Structure 1
Amino acid sequence: MDTRSRSQAPPTALSAQVCPSDPTCYTQAVKYLEWREDMDQEFNALLQNQTWCLIPSRAYMNVIGCKWVFRRKRKANGSIERHKAILVAKGFNQVPGHDFFDTFNPMVKPTTVRLLLSLALSSGWVISDQDLVTHLIKELSTTFKIRDLGEPDLFLGIETIKCDDGILLSQQRYMNDILKRVGMAKCKALSTPISVLKYIPFSADLYEDPTQYRSLVGALHYLTITRPDLSFIVNQLCQHMHAPTVSHWEHLKGILRYVKGTIDFGLRMKKSTSRELHAFSDSDWAGCPEDHKSTSGFAVFLGPNLISWVCKKQRTIVKFSTGAEYKALADVCAEVMWKVSLLREIKVSGISVPKLWCDNLGAIYMCANHIFHAHTKHVEIDYHFVRDKVAS
């Protein structure tokens, strides 16, 4: 007896299609037509942009090689959008201070992306006239290599999901990939990323596979683009990249279990006409049990939308909580001034005076106190910087 699904389905629909993984070297990629075509396109683009110039080789020169990096760019549903081959130089064969002195990488900051998304959402920067889009691309293509990608769907591994009052930035597919990579796709979920107990058993034994630890922590660090709730604990794990222990690996698995339980979480952005910048700062005074340094943290909002956040350990030890709070206030003040400069550069009008929020009275009083005491000499530079910005 044939079932309905069996009788109606063609034989090809019952066969499984296995997609090979990304090539790891030129020898593997050159066997496939799609990769050969993309390598030709990449190489011709490098020649067209005059990326390099050929000169005679000298005995004193450190000639470095190149390698191909192959990646499949996928859509939000997991299907392949296009193949991408990139020719990169083996910069790790160079010696800083001898082969090069300065480095420059023209990459956009995640903060800038979130700020522009917030502005585009609130201002309705959507061009529906196809003729106008074609005209803009034609004008810009004379200076830049540009193409129309349509409405935002999946970019940099981040999915944009439309909501009633805005969008949701989600990295759910990326989170699933991380869990599958470490074999924790079906692990038991946790409700918190870190233990709420003050005393946590610690093992000084080094973890047997530090490369795996560094790879997963780096993946979690990229996940903080849309998950500010992971910033603090991921920052703690990043401090032990050089020599991770068994305890650090256990903490890392606890975070992965928390990711499993919050895999639907993302960053919500709402439509709003507000151009007000609000910044909140705080610090965990002497919170590190190893060196008793403080940890600074801040969050910056443009209207109702969270566009920037940072959590990092302070470089120096402070003897009182006010100094730690004031250092965090100085960091967020510099961040806000940069955002104001960016908004003015892209011609955004209606920007109100930014507001800084701090829960430490001592740090607030220092903003208006003209007398500098001996106990606060070590924060003198931060003091004058914040006070000048408040006064202006």
Structure 2
Amino acid sequence: MALHSLGFKGSKTDPSLFIYSSKGTLLYMLVYVDDIILTGNNPSLIDQVIHSLGTTFAIQDLGSLSYFLGVEVVHQGSNLILSQQKYILELLQRAGLSHAKSVTSPITTTAHLSLGDSPLYENPVRYRQVVGALQYVTISRPDITFAVNKVCQFMHSPTENHWSAVKRILRYLQGTFTYGLLIQQTSGSTLHAYTDVHNSSLNAFSDADWAGCPDDRRSTGGFAIYLGSNLISWSARKQRTVSRSSTEAEYKALADTVAELTWLEALLQELQVPMTSVPVLWCDNLGATYLSANPIFHARTKHVEVDFHFVREKVAKGKLSVQFISTHDQIADIFTKPLSSQRFADLRSKLQVVTRP
């Protein structure tokens, strides 16, 4: 009620976001329990809002944003780096790996994790606590998302082999705890050889690893979504159903990416961020790319009809462009499978994961 009386309106896409818009003035307020971020294009009005809230609630103005929910905001000129260095170092200390030898990637290409692949780990509670903490680290470290998703699949019955995989992620973090996610104020860089990515355009990369799980043969789908050259959303997740072909797995991943794109478009519209072009979705599977544009429905793909119509409708209305990209340039590769150290480092840099000053 206090925010509504000040002219703020609750966001329809994010329940923790409140927006003030009047005569060219925009203020955004993000609320999580008793932690608040307030920003906008009118500093004097921001001060007025803080003063007004201070008359109703006991609040403390901590000044310029530097730390929020365990995430440090490091200012680098006009750019920001989101870092969880302090959180990672505390996690390493709790796990007893503060001085462990570092490794160059969070998961090896020879890793074959499955149910009951070795004797049960003696301390499953510790396993769950550490893996839960690692999930939180993925807020600023998209480079460990796939590895963390993999070890999360064995929470109920972890083995010694699974714990070894968790320790590798920690050893990787031990050598890269200074890394964080770069957010640039102006971003006109080129992400790959096919397109220039401008400041106000959404580009998504979608990929899937077909039948990668040895236990249930479900596929892992992943995506990376950029606003300009800034990575703003990413995912690595096992698909809910078994795919009968690589094209089906890729198309399911593509549909999940489109759903996230749709949500992001609605959010950016609420934030009054103008889009200069329709979102472009890059897929390295020709079959899935053709399916999104071809209105003729093949009999072998009837069981993915809902996903087909969802994506196809977006393309037909001109609200989405699905384009083919070579596997070499597919950034979402890092979210669907273990990679060699060199390939991993190349894709990590494209995720805008950089060393903080």
Q: What TM-score does the superposition give when structure 1 sets the normalisation length?
A: 0.65
In the alignment, residue 291 of structure 1 is paired with which amino acid? D
Q: What SS does structure 1 have at the residue aligned with 2:82? A: strand
The equivalent residue for 1:231 is 145
Most deviating of 327-336 and 348-357: 348-357
> Please, which of 207, 210, 213 is the counterpart of residue 124 of structure 2?
210
- Which structure 2 segments of 5+ residues have no match? 1-13, 18-27, 31-38, 188-198, 318-357
- Mapped to 2, the partners of 1:198 and 1:260 lie a distance apart of 20
- Mapped to 1, the partners of 2:56 and 2:265 lie a distance apart of 27
Identical positions, percent: 51
The equivalent residue for 2:68 is 155
1:198, CA displacement in angstroms? 6.1
> Please, which of 205, 210, 222 is the counterpart of residue 280 of structure 1?
205
> Please, which of 340, 345, 349 is the counterpart of residue 274 of structure 2?
349
Q: What SS does structure 1 have at the residue aligned with 2:179? A: coil
- The question of 1:180 aligning with 2:180 is answered no
1:205, CA displacement in angstroms? 1.3
The equivalent residue for 1:192 is 105
- Mapped to 2, the partners of 1:344 and 1:244 lie a distance apart of 43
1:200, CA displacement in angstroms? 7.4
> Please, which of 220, 244, 250 is the counterpart of residue 295 of structure 1?
220
- Mapped to 1, the partners of 2:269 and 2:59 lie a distance apart of 25
- Mapped to 1, the partners of 2:58 and 2:66 lie a distance apart of 21
Residues 362 and 142 of structure 1, relative CA distance in 2, 3 Å threshold: farther
1:132, CA displacement in angstroms? 3.9
- Mapped to 1, the partners of 2:41 and 2:295 lie a distance apart of 50
Residues 364 and 214 of structure 1, relative CA distance in 2, 3 Å threshold: same
- Mapped to 2, the partners of 1:267 and 1:179 lie a distance apart of 20
> Please, which of 167, 171, 174 is the counterpart of residue 84 of structure 2?
171
In the alignment, residue 164 of structure 2 is paired with which amino acid? E
The equivalent residue for 1:362 is 287
Q: Deviations over 1:44-68 (max 9, x none)?
A: xxxxxxxxxxxxxxxxxxxxxxxxx
- Mapped to 2, the partners of 1:257 and 1:250 lie a distance apart of 10
Q: How does 1:1-392 map to 2 (within 5 A)?
A: 125=40, 129=43, 131-139=44-52, 148-197=61-110, 203-272=117-186, 274-392=199-317
- Mapped to 1, the partners of 2:85 and 2:283 lie a distance apart of 33
Bigger proportion of residues as strand: 2
Of the two structures, which has the highest relative contact order with CA contacts closer than 8 Å and spacing of 6 or more?
2
Q: What SS does structure 1 have at the residue aligned with 2:129? A: helix
Q: What SS does structure 2 have at the residue aligned with 1:306? A: strand
Q: What SS does structure 2 have at the residue aligned with 1:363? A: helix
Q: What SS does structure 2 have at the residue aligned with 1:307? A: strand
- Mapped to 1, the partners of 2:232 and 2:310 lie a distance apart of 23
Q: What SS does structure 1 have at the residue aligned with 2:205? A: strand
Q: Which has the larger radius of gyration?
A: 1
- Mapped to 2, the partners of 1:275 and 1:139 lie a distance apart of 34
Q: What SS does structure 1 have at the residue aligned with 2:277? A: coil
Q: Deviations over 1:199-221 (max 9, x none)?
A: 67984311111100000000000
- Mapped to 2, the partners of 1:106 and 1:211 lie a distance apart of 32
Residues 301 and 223 of structure 1, relative CA distance in 2, 3 Å threshold: same
8 Å CA contact retained: 2:113, 2:161: no
1:106, CA displacement in angstroms? 5.6
Residues 210 and 298 of structure 1, relative CA distance in 2, 3 Å threshold: same
- Mapped to 2, the partners of 1:327 and 1:373 lie a distance apart of 16
- Mapped to 2, the partners of 1:336 and 1:199 lie a distance apart of 32
The equivalent residue for 2:341 is none
Residues 277 and 141 of structure 1, relative CA distance in 2, 3 Å threshold: farther
In the alignment, residue 251 of structure 1 is paired with which amino acid? A
8 Å CA contact retained: 2:141, 2:181: yes
1:290, CA displacement in angstroms? 1.8
Residues 139 and 200 of structure 1, relative CA distance in 2, 3 Å threshold: closer
Residues 301 and 145 of structure 1, relative CA distance in 2, 3 Å threshold: farther
Q: What TM-score does the superposition give when structure 2 sets the normalisation length?
A: 0.71
- Mapped to 2, the partners of 1:262 and 1:234 lie a distance apart of 16
Q: What SS does structure 2 have at the residue aligned with 1:367? A: helix
CA RMSD in angstroms comes to 2.7
